[in-house]
Amino acid sequence: MPFIIDEFIEDKNLPDSFRRTVEEVYIPISNKILRWESASDQPLVIAINGAQGTGKSTLSEFLSEYLKEISGLNLFVLSLDDLYKTKSERKILAEQIHPLFRTRGVPGTHDVDLGVKIINDCKTLEGNTVDVPVFRKDLDDRLKKEDWNAIQGPVDVIIFEGWCVSARAQPVSELCKALNEFELTEDPKGLWRKSVNDYLGKEYRELFESITHIIMLRVPSFECIFKWRAEQEEKLANQFKGADHSNDQHFMDKDALEYFISHFERLTQWMLEEMPSRSDIVVDFNADHSISGVKFNDE
């Protein structure tokens, strides 16, 4: 076990202090998943919900690699980000409904039908494969199908990670008043936020109903997200430095990032209010990005 953890820390360029997170958070979550899987006769779909910068990808990748190593289970990580509609599809959406739909992120900007198909296909896989899209954030677009990933069956556990995975629609009465300056300026009539909410209550409902368990990574406040997301943006820029398509890459400065983050405030605040009580596991963070505790709601 120490070897795979050492390898993971080195590969992901994580600090040595990450070992404590593994011991106190990741291993207990892994053990819980093993118990869930042994009690089920169907493939599990485990949601990992969390705002920008909470480490959804790191947790997802660890669970996938670690559980494969110790149990032989076949785990597949599906990122909500990889289900984003193409740039041209979002352009059409922006023209038909509201200009804000040009920006990826909120419900309405994902290919929900594709997500439903991927999950359903993975549940019935035997020896075949399922093609899964790849979205490049630095290009703000989906790669061509020949560059997608192939998932080999049979799949035991699907880890479905994303900032709004498992979210539910808000009561309509809460949509009337603008939440922040961004909504007041960019969506004064409330058309965008009402459309986002409609997508959650309808199209996204089928996608999220496939989820069997929810793990929520809970931030202490929305104010922490900007700082954490800025760190993530810097890491992304370093990751793609010198890569192909370098002329097409774009990363956000402070003003652009603040504008971008404002798209997510309403739904993030709503999830912080209503989701913890129905989550199977809640991981709480301190303002300094350290983890303050883990709660298993079924114990």
pLDDT tens digits for range 48-67: 999 988 999 999 999 999 99
- Is residue 189 pLDDT above 50, yes or no? yes
CA gyration radius for the chain? 19
Confidence of residue 253 (pLDDT cuts 50, 70, 90): confident
- Is residue 247 pLDDT above 60, yes or no? no
Mean pLDDT of 237-251: 58
Confidence of residue 251 (pLDDT cuts 50, 70, 90): low
Which structural domains are found in the chain, ordered by start?
A: 2-291 (3.40.50.300)
Question: DSSP labels for 128-194?
Answer: -EEEE--EETTTTEEPPGGGSEEEES--SEEEEEETTTT--PPPGGGGSS--SHHHHHH-TTSHHHH
Mean pLDDT of 85-111: 97
Mean pLDDT of 242-249: 52
β-strand pairing of 129-132 with 291-296 = unpaired
State the pLDDT at residue 246: 47
State the pLDDT at residue 255: 83
